[in-house]
Structure 1
Amino acid sequence: MTWSLTAAQVRLVVCSVNEWSYYAFGCDQCGDEIRKPAGKDVQSLLKTGGVAVERWVVPAEALEEKSGPAIAYDDVLDFALRLQSIDAPVAALSAMRPGAPA
């Protein structure tokens, strides 16, 4: 199979976490977006070929190490049901913050 793409058909997403950078293009046969890793050398090559760069900055909070149990589906459901059942959600949420009296 031979691919022929123009610079306009390729997306280059350069992330602040370099390992998460990628380039993407649409598949002519199935219509899906194909994503491939884009290291520094691939980024340079695509930029030289005229591919526009999209910058993606990962917020520092996303990179922080987390502790404690993960939020489960039931936790989200309980939260949604709680929000549905209260008249003043801001006051109720303030009372739910860690360290606040129950």
Structure 2
Amino acid sequence: MTSTAAPPPPATGPAVFRANCPHCRTSFELRADDLRLAIGASARTTFYSFTCPECGEAVRKPAPERIVELLTLGGVSTMRLA
């Protein structure tokens, strides 16, 4: 009896996320290490943040459950808030 291993999943590059800045209204792509995810006790305290590469402003946006899932799967650093 021969055993065959399943082929490895296709190679993918690093996760890239589309974002926009509410300050300068520019759209751009960010890598996982450009983003930070904070998970709080409620939807009001769960958010992601980044610094706009165009204008340098700090941006903070709410992170509903689906966004949390996508950012986490994409390798974004996550911090749990007490």
- Normalising by the smaller structure, the TM-score range is 0.5 to 0.7
TM-score by length of 2: 0.63
Kindly indicate which of the two structures has a greater share of residues assigned to helix.
1
2:42 corresponds to:
17
Aligned positions, number:
57
Alpha-carbon RMSD across the aligned residues, in angstroms, is: 1.2
Kindly indicate which of the two structures has a greater share of residues assigned to strand.
2
TM-score by length of 1: 0.52
1:36 to 49, 61, 65: 61
Structure 1 runs, 4 residues or longer, greater than 3 Å off? none
What is the alpha-carbon distance in structure 2 between the residues aligned to residue 17 and residue 3 of structure 1?
28
- For structure 1, the residue ranges without an aligned partner over 5 or more in a row are 58-102
Deviation at 1:2, TM superposition (A): 3.4
Larger RCO (CA under 8 A, 6+ residues apart): 2
- For structure 2, the residue ranges without an aligned partner over 5 or more in a row are 1-25
**Which one has the largest radius of gyration?**
1
Q: Which amino acid aligns with 2:46?
A: S
Percent identity among equivalent residues? Answer: 33
Deviation at 1:32, TM superposition (A): 1.2
